[in-house]
Amino acid sequence: MGLEQEVEVLRRIPLFQNIEPSKLKLMAFASERVTFADGAALFDQGEEGDAAYIVLEGTADVRVTADSGEPITVAQVASNDIVGEIAILCNVPRTATVVATSELVTLKITKELFFRMVQDFPQIGIEVMRVLAHRLETTTRQLRAARGG
């Protein structure tokens, strides 16, 4: 898979869908493609976060270790998903562990690269705000539903 295909994947991610292809190409070019073997961890809960990963191929589990110490799989990610973006947006430790469940090909977007892109191309920042606002709205709704129910 070359740069062109990577750009195609990036365009399908909501966060990036309104961004010009040439900017996405720059981002893809400046990012490293990282392949994880089946069972390898992309990052562990509680670590310092330095990058987000966009899944190009393969699947991974998102696991959260509960207070009891038992890891619970809370979600699965596959192609076109992005993981680890929370840690690079606000400086909090990783909120979950992500483990590849097949050979996993990702695009690693480092914190510096991401902030550079936001700085240089403000429309990315706006997109990020929009996506985050959506999520907040969803979470709030879920919270309300949970309390009400």
The b/e string for 26-48 (b: 16+ C-beta within 10 A; e otherwise) is bbbeebeeeebeeeeebbebeee
Angstrom distance (rounded) from CA 145 to CA 24: 37
What is the closest distance, in whole angstroms, from the C-beta atom of residue 20 to other proteins in the complex?
9
Check binding of 25 to other proteins (CB under 8 A): yes
Check binding of 36 to other proteins (CB under 8 A): yes
Check binding of 34 to other proteins (CB under 8 A): yes
What is the closest distance, in whole angstroms, from the C-beta atom of residue 105 to other proteins in the complex?
8
How large is the angle between the packed helices 111-120 and 122-148, nearest 10 degrees?
Answer: 110
Could you list the residues that contact other proteins (CB under 8 A)?
A: 1-4, 6, 22-23, 25-26, 28-30, 32-37, 40, 42, 116, 120
